[in-house]
Chain A
Amino acid sequence: MFGGTAQWGATPFRNRTQKFQDYYRCYPIAMMPGKDRESANYGGKIFLPPSALSKLSMLHISYPMLFQLKSEENDNVTYGGVLEFIAEEGRVYLPQWIIETLDVGPGSLLEISSCDLPLGKFVKFEPQSVDFLDISDPRAVLERSFQNFSTLTVGDVFKFSYNDKTYGMKVLEVKPDLEDKHSVCCVETDIEVDFAPPVGYVDPSTQSDSNYGRAIKTPGTSGSSTPAPMAAAGTMAQSIGYSKLAQQTIKSASKNTFSGGGQKLSGKAVKPEEEASLDEHFKELVGLGSTDTDANPQPLRLPFGQLFFGFPLVPVKPSEDEETQTEEQQQQPHFSGTGQSLRESRKRKERNSSAGAAGGTPKKPTSPEMVVID
């Protein structure tokens, strides 16, 4: 009835006979002997030793088998399912992103215990790069990759692969959100998904759409003069490969001539530098005179008779009118006010800048400005 190996560290509130708990040293899947298991690296399931299987079968474990993975070094916790019981004894093999999430190195000690997670109802993701927006059918891609996952935990940054490219995805929020777990089971359940703007995506300040053909425009509210929801946002930008042309320009200007990966002795992966957001650099190119940039913009060669309007949007600066400014400021009461300065001479200037084109969409709350003590 009881497992042969020692089971230390169980808390007094849990019945040992009903729960599996053990310690293992964790290793990345890449280090697993045998053939390459790249696809397993992009999943959420781990490899346990066969002894774990025998232990588990003797306990009453509810299916699907879900485990809490807790690092002994730093108390980071995450959750996962199991793929196969073929690991060597005393070892557990984890996908790379779990190792990163737990912030441990190969060979460090993990406490693995079985647990129960509620079925997930809602999850909010944050893609870790704007490349995610290039996927034409994110729903299908995610459904496919989630077959490899059993759990979704808040704070996880899991990686999945699609079309030979890896995409990072951070879990921001799950429902139901249990106090101690912040994780849900995503097996055989319908989950509502929401996306936050990807990391590195700069929202063109007040507007909700970008002119490159990436964001899908939200339908305008009712009103006879607003256009119908556009199924083909920015199609010409895509068909002429505008963003690629722009990236070539930026690459030629960027100082990253020495790019490439690197290796760390600790075994952790070196994160490649995120490509600078397209919008930031490119907006600089638009609107400036020609010679202020180093990069020479690529020519735009379209057949005669084709006109393209999808250049990056430079919002118009509000007029110098005092009235309109104060009006806008009244609409945005957040984070304004005076600050204290140790120097008597300088006054704090109002930092509320460009509210963008007329129409005055209320701005999303921004993070508080840093307080500078002069």
Chain B
Amino acid sequence: MILRFRSKKGTLRAEAQPTDLFDVAFKKLTEDLPDIDPATITLATSPTGKQEPASRLLGKTVQKLGLNHGDMLFVSYTDSAPRAAVEAVTAETAPQMTAAHIRDATKQLPVDDYLEKQDGKIKRQLSALQQRKFGSRGMGEDTLPVDPWDEEYLKEQKIKHMSYHAYVKKLNSQANKKNGGGYIAPLNVSDFGVSKSCTGAHAPWPEGICSRCQPSAITLQSQPFRMVDHVEFAESGMINSFIEPWRQSGTQRIGWMYGHYEPYELVPLGIKAVVEAIYEPAQSGEYDGITITEITQADGQPQPPHIATAEACGLVPLGVIFTDLVDAGNGDGSVICKRHADSYFLSSLEVAFAGAMQARFPNKSRWSPTSEFSSKFVTAVISGNPKGEIDVSCYQVSEQCEAMARADLIEPSINPSVLLVKEATKTRYVPDVFYKKNNEYGRTVLQGANPQLPVDYMLVTLTHGFPQDPRPLFSSGLSSFPVENRELIGVTQSPQALGKALDSGSAGGAVSNFHLLSYIQSMGVLSAEEFQLLAKVATEKKDEDVSRLVASEGWNNLLLIIQ
């Protein structure tokens, strides 16, 4: 016979024979209420009747309890924990997760903290005439200090995108100036996936969907800001050394850029990425492509040494750099210009790659509701410029593109200037994607991705340069130790090479080379603290550290191995 249990949640039917113990039906009830402690469940025969704790009813047969076919029992219980909080991870009601809390608690990069403290307004030089008119601190219309996000000013200075901090300040000034008390996170993190935690009255995706949890249509726009404005290579020889494998073998090369961030004066509230070292991971390069075996064959391999080395030296991963060079056949070292306004700057495959890499290295931000916003990861390409010279171009992918990559909506196509929007499947909800286009009549219209998308909307360009007065962190020079993974041109790292490098130069100077440090790290001879000490010697070159290092056991083991 069937017994019915009515609770806050709904009505549950349970099968039980008159001669069965009540436990059978009760078990079904507890299964239906998994979060509830069974000891708190009470049952009554009428909605207002006396509630009996369920434990009292267990152990008796259904017949004995006087229950007939179709009887309704009213269940009540106490919730052990508020279920809403368990489900909703990003609920704004939960006290720890308010935007204001995130703003105060999130740890950002030091450069971000430094730039936030400044107001970023650009003081304009007053001409002599203006000085006479307005006084030395004139605040007339033409001479008011300019906001860092002012489009006119940026256009004048030929800055294509405002800096990230300028953008934040702009949004803050608009969003939060009126709310004296409340604070709304100014940054909006795009999320194009189906919201998994929709608390509507439907089963979660993919069984059910409602208009609240499905992502709305996406309109692509070029990103008005950029997270990093400039890339500076600590010494120009670094690029030269990176191109060397191409010069000798004709195959392309890829490397991870490591360094740190600093404020960049030429852009209001700008950030520059200072590249101190380029680590070349295990890779298989070809004339027309590169396979990063460090990634594609990562299973079962030990962690590559550059991650630990960079951490020890206080460097962060800044981005990726790769070559796309084809000799022009003129014998003078000129290369073909493949990437230009009429073809493509970054192919759709590279855009997808950059989007995925940027998603791996998110930028910590106080101003975002999720404590992260976009990324500072940069993609640099070494290719030919229209004059045929070897030149560097640096790009980032827009925050919208990162979100699309995370939601698995886009994929590259064989046409490099076009991305394809993937088709919707049972497990992937694909919203409509639109972008603005000048159609044949010269009007700007919203065009739907059908499923092609031009790649240009996703890109942000950065400037790059070399310092006038180079002061690289790693001072031992680029040729003091062979670079890793260059077996294809006959360059190998070996204990002998290490010994040779250590003999040359002073102790501190000799080890100040990222590739050397990575090699030592990969040897695994030094302990973590000793390696930390070694990195300190390499970067700070203090004598007391040198003596401590020389005295350490690991270091002496290392020297033994080299002999």
Residues of A within 8 A of B (CB): 207-209, 211, 213, 217-218, 220-230, 232-237, 242, 245-246, 249, 285-291, 296-311, 313-317, 319, 357-361
Whether B291 lies near A306 (C-beta < 8 A) is yes
Residues of B within 8 A of A287 (CB): 342-344, 417
Within 8 A of A (CB), among B414-446: 414-418, 420, 437
B283 closest partner in A (C-beta): A305
Q: How far is the CA of A217 from the CA of B251 in the complex (A)?
A: 13
Within 8 A of A (CB), among B252-295: 252, 254, 286-295
Residues of A within 8 A of B340 (CB): 314, 316
Residues of A within 8 A of B350 (CB): 307
Asked if A357 meets B384 with Cβ closer than 8 Å, knowing A290-B452, A299-B420, A308-B289, the reply is: yes
Q: Give the distance to chain A from B191, nearest Cβ to Cβ, in Å.
A: 22
Asked if B412 CB lies within 8 Å of chain A CBs, one says yes
A311 closest partner in B (C-beta): B416
Asked if A297 meets B415 with Cβ closer than 8 Å, knowing A234-B288, A236-B286, A358-B386, the reply is: yes
Whether A227 lies near B247 (C-beta < 8 A) is yes
Whether A296 lies near B336 (C-beta < 8 A) is no
The 10 A-B pairs with the shortest beta carbon distances in the complex, nearest first, are A305-B295, A310-B288, A358-B388, A227-B250, A236-B289, A290-B452, A225-B333, A221-B331, A314-B343, A297-B415
Asked if B183 CB lies within 8 Å of chain A CBs, one says no
Whether A230 lies near B287 (C-beta < 8 A) is yes
Cβ-neighbour of A235 out of B287, B349, B387, B412 (below 8 A): B287
Whether B296 lies near A303 (C-beta < 8 A) is yes
Give the size category of B's interface with A: 35 or more
Residues of B within 8 A of A301 (CB): 411-412
Instruction: Please list 22 pairs of residues, one from A and one from B, whose beta carbons are closer than 8 Å in the complex, sorted by A's number.
Output: A223-B332, A230-B287, A234-B288, A235-B287, A242-B414, A249-B415, A285-B418, A286-B343, A290-B449, A299-B412, A306-B296, A307-B291, A307-B349, A309-B338, A310-B287, A311-B338, A311-B343, A316-B342, A358-B337, A359-B328, A359-B329, A361-B330
Asked if A227 meets B327 with Cβ closer than 8 Å, knowing A300-B349, A305-B295, the reply is: yes
Asked if A249 meets B414 with Cβ closer than 8 Å, knowing A303-B296, A304-B296, A311-B347, the reply is: yes
Whether A305 lies near B294 (C-beta < 8 A) is yes
Whether A313 lies near B450 (C-beta < 8 A) is no
Query: A-facing mask of B325-363, CB < 8 A → 1, else 0?
Result: 011111111101110101110011110010010000000
Whether A359 lies near B332 (C-beta < 8 A) is yes
Residues of A within 8 A of B387 (CB): 358
Asked if B43 CB lies within 8 Å of chain A CBs, one says no
Whether A220 lies near B329 (C-beta < 8 A) is yes
Provide the main secondary structure of the chain A interface: loop
Whether A357 lies near B437 (C-beta < 8 A) is no
Residues of B within 8 A of A298 (CB): 413-414
Whether B414 lies near A313 (C-beta < 8 A) is no
Q: How far is the CA of A218 from the CA of B252 in the complex (A)?
A: 18
Whether B415 lies near A285 (C-beta < 8 A) is yes
Residues of A within 8 A of B291 (CB): 236, 305-307
Cβ-neighbour of A306 out of B250, B290, B336, B388 (below 8 A): B290
Residues of A within 8 A of B344 (CB): 286-287, 311
Q: How far is the CA of A361 from the CA of B331 in the complex (A)?
A: 11
**A229, A288, A291, A307 pick with most chain B CB within 10 angstroms:** A307
Asked if A232 meets B332 with Cβ closer than 8 Å, knowing A297-B413, A306-B292, A358-B337, the reply is: no
Query: A-facing mask of B523-541, CB < 8 A → 1, else 0?
Result: 0000000000000000000
Q: How far is the CA of A201 from the CA of B148 in the complex (A)?
A: 54
Cβ-neighbour of B333 out of A223, A232, A306 (below 8 A): A223
A223 closest partner in B (C-beta): B331
Asked if B55 CB lies within 8 Å of chain A CBs, one says no
Q: Give the distance to chain A from B257, nearest Cβ to Cβ, in Å.
A: 16
Residues of A within 8 A of B188 (CB): none
Extra pairs beyond A228-B250, A288-B417 (17, CB < 8 Å):
A209-B326, A235-B288, A236-B286, A236-B287, A249-B414, A287-B417, A290-B415, A297-B414, A307-B292, A307-B349, A310-B288, A311-B338, A311-B347, A357-B336, A357-B386, A358-B334, A359-B388
A212 closest partner in B (C-beta): B288
